[in-house]
Every structure is written in C-alpha cells, then in structure tokens.
Amino acid sequence: MSKLDILAFGAHPDDVEIGAGGTVISSIEKGLKVGVVDLTQGELGSRGSGELRLIEALNSAKLMGLTTRENLGMRDGFFELDEEHLLKIVEKIRKYQPTIVLCNAPSDRHPDHGRASALVERACFLSGLARIETTHGGEKQAHWRPKAVYKYIQDFYLKPDFVLDVSNYWDKKIAALQCFSSQFFSADSKEPKTPISGAEYFDFLKGRAMEMGRPSGFLLGEGFIATRPPGVDDLTKLL
C-alpha cells in the first residue's frame, strides 16, 4: 500500500485531466502524492477505443507525475450505484488511504459523471465503516475515510465552493490532455465529431478557467464543490 495525499476518480479516462488536471499537477509539483482511478475505459466513446484510452491514460499519468493510475474496468454507460460497484471503490480508498478525494461533477452533460460522483461520495462514507469488510491481496483491509471529498466542475457551469489557482500549470494540463489524442482535435482525424473533439474545445476550457479564476483574482482557476463546508481556524487562511 502506498498512501496518497490525493486520490482522484473519473468516470472515464481524461475526466480528471479535464476537470482537475491543473490541480493534480500543482499538487504533485508541491510534493504531494497523487493517484487516479478511472472507473471505465470509456469504451462507448465515439472516437478511439477502450484499449487505446488505457494507453493514453498511462501516457498522461507519466507526464503529470502520478504515483499510480488504475482502471476499475466498470462498464461504460452501465455502472450503477449498487453494492458491487461501491465495494470496488471502497477497496481502492482503503488501499491508498487518501486524505482528499476528488471526483466527478454532481451533474453534467454526460450522465455517467453524475452517477460516478454519487458513487464515489457514498463509497468514501462506507469506507470508514469497520463492519464493512474488504480485502486486498488476500488480506483484510483497515477501514478508512478521507477527510474531504471535492467534486471538480466539468462541462456544465456549476457555482464553485472554492477555486484553486492553476495559472502556472495550464500548459502542462493541456499537454496531459493532448496525450488523449484519440479524443481531441486532429485535423487528420476521420472519426465522428464529438462535444470535445472540435478545434475550439481547448479555448472553451481556458475560458471556463478564466471565468472560475477571475472572482478570486487568479488568471486561471479550477473550481470545486465541497461535500461539506471547509473549515479553518484562522480567517487569514481564506485570503
């Protein structure tokens, strides 16, 4: 077991990069250990394939400097909020014992995102219950509950509870996204156009980041929704 500071979940490979890539890179460059768990291979996507997206996800992981990246192999489009899927996520939370968990937006254009958000949030609670037993490598796991669960904002605009400054990490975030060459714009591609494959999509992402960052005085920001109010013991920490 390699304990992580942050464990980020995504319904599909590239979800974490889109919604929280700058935050992940910033955290790693500040010395934190960060891992990603993708729930599915994104095999129902109109472009590329599940097998190709696994390769792309590993390339992005190397570029960002992740400690680990795993794929749970859930069925794209068909995973549900049930015991089987909850326990798969509980096992990963207990394996990595993260202080913070990041997950998909609670409501979004792609219906998998909202379901993944609810699934991970509930699994974080269940993971802290000692009477729920899971094993890893044949050994019983200790119960573990992350201190915080934050949901990154994706396609739909949702009002953030807080914003993280990613101005200095934007170029590396885009480089990580470009590892998923099957999903984003390529002038030579013969595959169907999707909501994220147009030449304008990265401009949209930057515009969203400017929108998120501006009220906080940042050039570029990533917004998050907290599952409970963040607390501090010093007002100056909110500046």
**pLDDT at residue 226, rounded to an integer:** 97
Lowest mean pLDDT among 76-90, 160-174, 223-237: 223-237
What would the mean pLDDT of 117-139 be, rounded to a whole number?
A: 96
As beta bridge partners, residue 34 has 6
Residue 114 lies in a domain: yes
Please give the residue range of the domain that contains residue 196. 6-229
**pLDDT at residue 1, rounded to an integer:** 58
Whether 35 contacts 4, CB under 8 Å: yes
**pLDDT at residue 237, rounded to an integer:** 84
Whether 22 contacts 28, CB under 8 Å: no
Q: Can you give the CATH number for the domain in which 198 is found? A: 3.40.50.10320
Whether 153 contacts 108, CB under 8 Å: no
Residue 234 lies in a domain: no
**pLDDT at residue 190, rounded to an integer:** 84
Q: Look at residue 207 and tell me whether its pLDDT is greater than 80.
A: yes
Q: Look at residue 25 and tell me whether its pLDDT is greater than 90.
A: yes
- Indicate the pTM of the whole model: 0.95
What would the mean pLDDT of 73-80 be, rounded to a whole number?
A: 96
Q: Look at residue 69 and tell me whether its pLDDT is greater than 80.
A: yes
Residue 10 lies in a domain: yes
**pLDDT at residue 127, rounded to an integer:** 98
Q: Look at residue 11 and tell me whether its pLDDT is greater than 90.
A: yes
Look at the chain and report how many structural domains it folds into: 1
d(CA 164, CA 223) in angstroms, rounded, equals 7
Residue 137 lies in a domain: yes
The position carrying tokens 């998050």 is: 224
How far is it between the farthest Cα atoms of the chain?
A: 55
Q: Please report, for residues 9, 103, 151, 155, the alpha-carbon distance to residue 121 in angstroms, rounded to integers and kept in the order given.
A: 10, 8, 9, 20
Q: Which residue has the higher pLDDT, 11 or 231?
A: 11
**pLDDT at residue 130, rounded to an integer:** 96
Tokens standing for residue 226: 């907290």
Q: Tens digits of per-residue pLDDT, 159-195? A: 999 999 999 999 999 999 999 988 988 888 888 999 9
Residue 39 lies in a domain: yes
Q: Look at residue 93 and tell me whether its pLDDT is greater than 90.
A: yes
d(CA 234, CA 198) in angstroms, rounded, equals 45
Residue 203 lies in a domain: yes
Q: Look at residue 213 and tell me whether its pLDDT is greater than 70.
A: yes
Q: Please report, for residues 6, 20, 21, 123, 133, the alpha-carbon distance to residue 2 in angstroms, rounded to integers and kept in the order given.
A: 12, 22, 21, 19, 20
Length of the chain equals: 239
d(CA 42, CA 51) in angstroms, rounded, equals 9
**pLDDT at residue 88, rounded to an integer:** 98
What would the mean pLDDT of 2-17 be, rounded to a whole number?
A: 96
Residue 24 lies in a domain: yes
**pLDDT at residue 80, rounded to an integer:** 96
Residue 200 lies in a domain: yes
pLDDT tier for residue 140 given thresholds of 50, 70 and 90:
very high
